[in-house]
Amino acid sequence: MLSPEAVRGMTYREFRTLVAGLPRTPEVRQAQGAVRRRALGLYRERPPLPFLLYLADQEGRLVWRSAEAFAIVEPPLARQTEWYRVVRNLPGSTRALGRLVRSWRFIPPFAPAVVGVVAAVPLGLLSPATARAAVLLLLAGIAHAVTDMIVGVIRLGWSLLRSLSVGMSDDEIFGDEIRGHHWTITFCHAVHPSDADGLCADAFRRTRELRGALLPEDPAFGSECVGVRPENFTSPDVRSLLGDLPSLRPLPRAGWYMIGAKQHFERPVHEAVRPLSGIRLMSASTLLALIVSAQSVAWFERQACSTNDCGARPVTFPKALAWTVRHVFLQFPAPATLPSQALGVLALILVWVMTLCVILTLRWRIRNRRARRDLMYTAIERMAAEPTVAIVVVNETECRAVADAFVARMPGMVPRPGKAGAKAVTLLGTIGGAKVVLAQSEQGTVGAGSMPWTVDNLIKHLDPVFLVLTGVGYGLNARELDDGDQQIGDVVVATQVRAADHRKVTTRADGTQYEITRGPLPEAASDLLSHARVLAQDRSPKVHFGPLLSLNTLVNSEEERARLRGLDEEAVAGEMEAAGLYAAAAQTRRAWIVVKGISDWGIRKTDDHQALAARNAADFVADLICQIEPGAATGREGRKIAG
C-alpha cells in the first residue's frame, strides 16, 4: 500500500513511474501530495543542481570519482560563519554565486515583493491612473512578503512547540543535531552500490582534509564523522542497499547513516559552540525602524493638521522621535492620528522584542565563553592525566610499518606531524588511553640525531611513561645456520641489552688474545616484559625472548657474526641502537623495552624481508600497548610504570 512514508526519498519522476496504470485512490493522491511537497521544498531550499555542483567544485566540496559517482559535502551549520571567511579568497564570480546559493531560501518568498516595489516606482511617476496600479502592485508585494514572514514565524513556533513535546520524532531531533554539528553529504549520485561505498569513504576523507586545512581546530565539535540520509542518494537501488555498505553505519531510530564514527566517540559540547549573535544587526535595524517610524509619524501628523498651529502634535521629526520613544516606555502620549498610534504600538513591540533577543543573545554568548573556558581547562587536565608512549625507529621502512600497524587498529586515524622540542615526530593518536608518538632516529649511538639524542629529547619534551625501540635486527639463533628455532619474520623481545662495543681486548701470557666485555647488562622494564610474555603465548609469528647485542657496527660478515655469538651464547639477536636507548633512559629511570623483527642473519644482507619483519614487530608493539593500557595503569596520579 502506498503512503507518504512508503514514497519517502522518491523523486516526482520515480513516483510517476511507480503509479503508472494504478487507479487514483485516496492513498495514491496522498502519496502524490507528499512527493510534490518534498519537490517544492527542495526547490525553495536550494537552487538548480548545476549551480550547486559548480560552487561545490570551486570550494573543494565536490567529491568526484566519475560521471556516475560524485557527491557534495557541506560543513556543519554551526561553522558556516568560519566557512564563509574561508571562501572569501575565491574569485569574485564564485563568491557572488556562493551568496546567491546561500541566500536562495530568501529569494522565492521575497522576490515578488522586491519586483513589486521596483516596478511600482516608475508606474507611480507616469500618471494618476498608473499610480493606482503602482499602489496595488506595491501592496500585493508587501502582502506576499508579510504573509510569508507570518507563515515562517508560525512554522518556527510550531517547530519549537514540537521540540518540547513527546511527538517529535527521533529522525527530526537527530537530523537537526547532525546538520548542526557534523559534516553532511547533501547530494550523492552513484549508480552502483560499490561506487556509493567508495564515494562515501572519499567524502569522509575529503571532509577531514577540508577541516584540517581550512577550518581551525575546535574541540567543541567532538569526534569527526559525516552524516547522510537515504534521500540524498539519487539511485533507488543504492538506497535499498545502504545497510550493506561497509563505510556506512545506521543511526538507531533515525533515517540517518554515519561515516567514520569511531568506537570512542566524543559528542559535541553544545554550549561551547559559538552562537549566532547578530547583536549589531538587531541594534541597527531597531534604531532604523525607530527613525523611520518617527519620520512617518511626523508626516501623518502634518497631514492631519489643517492649521498652522498644530498644538502638541508631533509634526517635526524631533517631536515625533520623542513621541515614539515615550510610546516605547508605555507612556502612550496624545493627541495623534490612528496611523501614528499604530506605528507607536508597532515600535513598542519591535523595541521590546529586539531587546529581549539581545538579552538572550548576550546570555548565550556568556554561556558560550564559560563553556569554552571549561573546555580549555578540561583539555589541560586531560593533557596532564593522559600519558604518552614514545616509539622510536631508525629508517623509513620501520616508520611506515609502525604507522600502518596503528592505522589498522584505529580506522579513520591519520598520522599527523608534530614536534618534541627541535625533533620532528609523528602523532599516531590515542590507544590504550595513551598518546602514541613515533620518532625516527639516525643509525647508531654516535653523532647528531642518533639514538641517545633522540631519546633524551623525547623524555625532556614529552615525558613518556615508557619508550619502545622497534624495527629490524639480525637473528643469532637461526634454524638453518645455528640449529636454533628462529625464522625470518619472527619477533625478538630483549630481556637484556649488552653493549658489545664496550670491551677490553687483551693478550694472555701464551700470546693468545681474548676479550672482556665491560659494558652494563641493563634489563628491560619488568612490567613491560610480563605483558609481552603473556601476549607472546601461541602467537604467530613466534616471539623470542633473550639478551640482545648492541654495537655500532653493521654486521654482514660470517666471522663477525661468529665472534658475537661467542660473546653471549644466550643472545637471540643483534642490532645497533638499543644501547643508546638504555643510556638515555637510564638517566631519568624511564621504563623501556626493545622489540625487533628478524630480517636477516647478519650475513648476505638484503632488504627483501625488512618490511615484513618491521611490520611484525610493529604489530606486536601496537598489541602490547593496547594490552598494557598505559592510561588506565597510570591514572591521574602516577605518570610512570614501575620497571
Peptide bond into 216 cis (omega under 30): no
Half-sphere exposure of 480 (CA within 13 A, CB side): 5
How confident is the model at residue 159, as a pLDDT?
Answer: 63
* pLDDT of res. 621: 95
Query: What pLDDT digit, counting tens, does each position of 40-61 carry?
Result: 343 344 555 677 788 888 888 8
pLDDT of residue 269: 80
Q: What is the pTM of this model?
A: 0.46
Question: Residue 418 to residues 337, 352, 427: CA-CA distances in angstroms?
Answer: 72, 52, 6
Q: What is the pLDDT of residue 167?
A: 58
Contacts 24+ apart (CB under 8 A), 291-297: 291/321, 293/324, 293/343, 293/344, 293/346, 293/347, 294/320, 294/321, 294/323, 294/324, 295/320, 296/339, 296/340, 296/343, 297/323, 297/324, 297/336, 297/340, 297/343, 297/344
For cell 571532509, the residue is 207
φ, ψ at 532 (rounded to 5°): -65, -40
Cell of 74: 557541506
CB atoms within 10 A of CB 207: 26
Three cell numbers, residue 110 = 521575497
Residues of the chain with pLDDT under 50: 1-2, 4-5, 7, 12, 37-45, 634-643
Gap between the terminal Cα atoms of the chain:
70
Q: Can you state the percent helix, strand and coil of the chain, rounding each to 5?
A: 50, 15, 30
Q: Classify 555 as helix, strand or coil.
A: coil
Q: What is the 3-state secondary structure (H, E, C) of 481-502?
A: CCCCCECCCCEEEEEEEEECCC
Contact 186, 256 (CB under 8 A): no
- C-alpha 443/C-alpha 448 separation (Å) is 10
Q: What pLDDT is stored for residue 469 in this prediction?
A: 95
Alpha-carbon gap, residue 634 to 270, rounded angstroms: 31
CA distances, 469 to each of 264, 578, 581 (Å): 28, 7, 8
